[in-house]
Structure 1
Amino acid sequence: MPMPLTPLPETLFGRPFSVREALGSGVPRERLRHAGLVRAAHGLRTPTEPATLAQATTALARILTEPWAWSHETAAELCGLPVPHPWQPGDRLSVMRTSAGGPIRRPQVRGRVGLERRATVERLGMPVVNPYTTWCDLAVEVSRDDAVVLGDAIAAWPVSPDDVRLGLTSWVRLEAEVMHRIGAPGSRRVRTAYLAVRGGSRSPMESLARLCFIDAGLPEPELNLDVLDEGRWVATVDFAWPWARVIVEYQGDHHRTNRRQWQHDLQRLALLQDLGWTVILISSADLATAHARQQLVARVERALGLAKR
């Protein structure tokens, strides 16, 4: 007859814990080998496999030796930024330590160094490299487009009234970090991406659409332009070339699946057209391939009167 399973102490039940912590609480080592616990990493047990980034990071944090901080794509996602490849179960986590301490070497971790040169913030009770520094770290590694998407998201972050009075906007903080990187490895890539960042894009797809227009040599559009009719607000549009009275509006899936939104869009479109604006509606399909982007640029060129004859 099998021996009854030793229950875990209440202090460990239902949460991640280190093997050292469990042994210190009197849990027999044999109990830690039971199939009812997940061996999430060497020296770490969890009640279930981590299914989210928050679960994975808070679990692994219990066995990391200070000083350390989440960095790169892990830090960006913990800060709510639109990373190109969100964490999935089984993905590694980026952890940074000081250069003197050396990188953490674990199968679940992408070890980084340089923490002594970086400021941190707290997310979910854990240290995270601050988002402005994280953006510069990622701009060296990801594509320019992905870096601009992340930079646009940071530039759009609201700040406190006190920060506004001091001129410490998200844009200013990002610029300061970029300037700090001058001369460092990868600084040219960082600067190239930074020069394409704009405050005003409200989604990653809007950022990619703007880059599509600029890379094709089109005049840069105004973002989030308020369209007025004799001083009365009519609409705020995604992209506008007022001198040509041309508007481009990005339509996400909610514009298609929400009936009320769809009806509102139709009324808005008619009103803008009545005021003499040419309105081009686009979706993710218009940015999905090089051919689709070429066709989109041609449509906008024709509307702007810039098409080659």
Structure 2
Amino acid sequence: RAQGYDGATYGARAAYIGGAAGTATVSAGKAFGIPVLGTMAHSFVQSFDTEYDAFKAYAEIYPDSCILLVDTYDTLKSGIPNAIRVAEEVLQPMGKTLAGIRIDSGDIAYLTKKARMMLDVAGLTDTKISISNSLDEYLIRSVLEQGARIDSFGVGENMITSKSSPVFGGVYKMAAMEKDGQIVPKIKISENKEKITNPGYKKVYRLIENETNKAIADIVMFADETIDPEKNLTIYSQYDKWKNKTLIGGSYTFFELQKPVFVDGECVYEEKTLEEIRENVKKQGTLLWDEIFRLEYPHAYYVDLSERLIDYKLKMLEEKRG
């Protein structure tokens, strides 16, 4: 359901970087070493004369990672009883256990609670319950609030496709150009203030509050500007200079977000492994306040300007508008 082969493969890579435990996209697992996770399909179950025969065959093929899809026919009356039977008759004699079951339809909250009870009564307390079926963050939150017994989520189409914003609105605008050996700032003006660009050759720093070790904001500034953390620093909204905040010297630290990749045609960047990238994303996430991750009305994370940059921007706006 992704936008083509590359969309699926690199989308799975992005999801893994963002925190997903693995992928069902085998090409991404092969290309990037991402753990490949998945279970049988409904068509696999349907291809056998009985559901039990399908489960038995699958258990014999994958005894160490047997996760059975239990909702092809009837989850509670057929699927789970057959899964328990296979655990007892096929896996246990091999010295193996049933790794999990997957539910892909129906009332997820109700079914998982009943499934947990049935598995526990059968002594399969370590068998995990996984759910799927067009999941998104809102549905996941809803079933958890209803007390669903779930160990893992198979999230597919709503992660790999840009369902909520199918068109990427980014357009290239020139920020600066080199003329006679000098960097000349450029600006794009619009009646829509979000489309007004920030002029010049710039760099970005993340500002960290010492007391909480949380990010205060990012600051965009001209490339030749510097920050002295022992001095007060005032950061300004990109659109209104009167919206500003002053950080007291000694109360904050900072680090640069941008890293040079090529300098004078030479690669100067040490490429990171996928696991290193993933760990850095996790680390950066700990710097952000929980309120930023709210599903509804999240707190805005500020990306502000230095005083010199906002003054130059306002000056250019005045000049261009005559």
Mark yes or no: TM-score above 0.5. no
Instruction: Provide TM-score, normalisation by structure 1.
Output: 0.24
Instruction: Provide TM-score, normalisation by structure 2.
Output: 0.23
Greater Rg over alpha carbons, structure: 2
Q: Considering Cα pairs closer than 8 Å and 6+ residues apart, tell me whether 1 or 2 has the greater RCO.
A: 2
